[in-house]
Amino acid sequence: MSLAEELRWRGAVQDASAPLEQLLDAGPRVFYIGFDPTADSLHVGNLLGIVLARRLIDAGHRAILVAGGATGMIGDPSGRSSERVLLDPATLRHNTARIAGQLQRLLGDVVPGAVTLEDNRTWLEPLTLIGFLRDIGKHVPVSAMLARESIRTRLGGEGLSFTEFSYMILQAVDFVELHRRYGCTLQLGGSDQWGNIAAGIDLVRRLDGHEVHGLTWPLVTKADGTKFGKSMGGNVWLDEDRTSPYELYQFFVRAEDQKVMEYVALYTFLSFDEIAALRTAHEDDPSRRIAHRRLAWEVVRFVHGEAAADQAAEAARALFEGGRAEAGAPVVTLERAAFGDGIDVIDLALAAGLARSRSEARRLIAQGGLYVDGRRALEGQRVSQADLTDGHLTLRRGKRDWVVVRLNDAN
C-alpha cells in the first residue's frame, strides 16, 4: 500500500492542492509543519499533525518543524471568534524552546538527518516595515486575503485587527523562506489552515515562479460534532508534568464507542490487518473496550514510551478492578486542614476537578453520578479523615472518570 493509499484509508487527509500520489509517492519531498508557541507544551490537538509527520518521515520524506517564535507574537485568527491575548517576548521564547524540545523528542531521532527544527524568528525578525511592504506586501492581493474563510468569519463577527490580519502574510513568508533555504515544496496543516497554506502557495509562485503544494488533515470530532482533544479540565497536554501518562491514557480509553476505530486509524501506527482485527473485536462486544485500551496504549507509547504506556495500562487495570493504583493515576493532594471536621462532598468534587461549579456538582449527585470509594455520594454528605484508607480515597464521576485524593502527610 502506497503512502497516498494509506492516508486515504486512514482518513488522514482533508484537502490537497494536487493528487496525493503526486505529492507523496513520486519521490522524496521536503515538507514543513508549523507550531505556534501559545503554551509551553504541545497538546492532543497537535498530535495528529505530529503522527502525520512521522508517517511521511517513515516513507522517506524530510521534515522541517517550525516553532513560530515570530508568528506566535502576532496570533493566528484561524478558528477563533475573538482577538488573541498577546504573550510577552520572554514567555514566547520560553514556550518556543519547550515546544522545540518536545518535537525533537517525538520526531527528531526517527531517521538521522530527516528532521530539521527551525524558529521563524530567524527570517521574520530582520524584516523592516518598508522592506516588508515593498518586497512582500506588493505581491499579496488584499482581495484574496478577504476571501479566506478565517478572515471572512472574523469580519462578520467581532472584527479583526491589522495585526491578526497580517498573520496570513507572515505564514506565507515562512513557506517562501523554507522553499528557498531547504527546497521545501509541501506544507502540512490542520483543515483550518487551508487559507494560510494557499496564501503561501500563491506567494511562492508570485515571488519565485515555482510550484509548491499544501495538504491538510481533517478536524477530529466527537460524536456530537464538537472538537476532539480536550477533557473536562481543558487541554490534554503532551508534557507529562501537565498531563500524566495515566491521564493521557484515560483520555483516549474514554473515547466514544462510535468514534474509537476512527481514532485508532488516525492516531496509531497499527497495520491494516491489526486494525481490521480490532474492529471485529470491537463490533462483537464494545463493552470489553479492547479497541479503547489498544488506542490508549499506542498513543501513550508514542508520546511517552513503552514503559509509561505499560504503567498507565496497569494503573487503569488495578483501579478498575478495585485496587488503589496511585502510581501514575491522577492524584489530588489535600491538606489536613481542608478536611477539618469533614469536607462537604461538593467541595471535594470541586477540589478533585470532577465538577466545575457547585451547581454542576449538585446535579451530578442528584443524578447518582458521583461515587466516594465506590459508594454513591449523597447531598449533604461530609467526608472526614477517618474515611480515608492509608491517607487515600477514590472519587469517581460516572463510569470512568477517576481521581485519587491523597492527604498531605507533611502536615
Contact present, 253 and 292 (Cβ < 8 Å): yes
Burial zone of 409 (CB within 10 Å; 0-12 exposed, 13-18 middle, 19+ buried): exposed
Per the annotation, does 171 bind a ligand?
yes
- Cα–Cα distance, 152 to 266 (Å, whole number): 30
Closest alpha carbon to 121 in 101, 136, 100: 100
For helices 272-284 and 260-267, angle between their N-to-C axes, nearest 10 degrees: 160
Pairing mode, strands 213-217 and 186-190: parallel
Per the annotation, does 249 bind a ligand?
no
Question: Which residues, at least 6 apart from 147, have a Cβ–Cβ distance to it below 8 Å?
Answer: none
- Cα–Cα distance, 4 to 24 (Å, whole number): 6
Per the annotation, does 32 bind a ligand?
yes
Per the annotation, does 246 bind a ligand?
no
Q: How far is CA 290 from CA 185, 264, 277, 308, in A?
A: 40, 11, 11, 19
Question: Which residues, at least 6 apart from 15, have a Cβ–Cβ distance to it below 8 Å?
Answer: 191, 194, 214, 215, 216
Closest alpha carbon to 56 in 100, 24, 34, 16: 24
- Compute how many other C-beta atoms are within 10 angstroms of the C-beta atom of residue 330: 18
- Cα–Cα distance, 178 to 200 (Å, whole number): 11
- Cα–Cα distance, 387 to 384 (Å, whole number): 5
Pairing mode, strands 382-383 and 343-344: antiparallel
Element (H, E) at 333: strand 331-334
- Cα–Cα distance, 194 to 172 (Å, whole number): 12
- Compute how many other C-beta atoms are within 10 angstroms of the C-beta atom of residue 75: 19
Question: Which set of grid coordinates corresponds to residue 144?
Answer: 484574496
- Cα–Cα distance, 164 to 401 (Å, whole number): 39
Which residues are part of a known binding site for ATP?
Answer: 230
Which residues are part of a known binding site for L-tyrosine?
Answer: 32, 167, 171
Which residues are part of a known binding site?
Answer: 32, 167, 171, 230
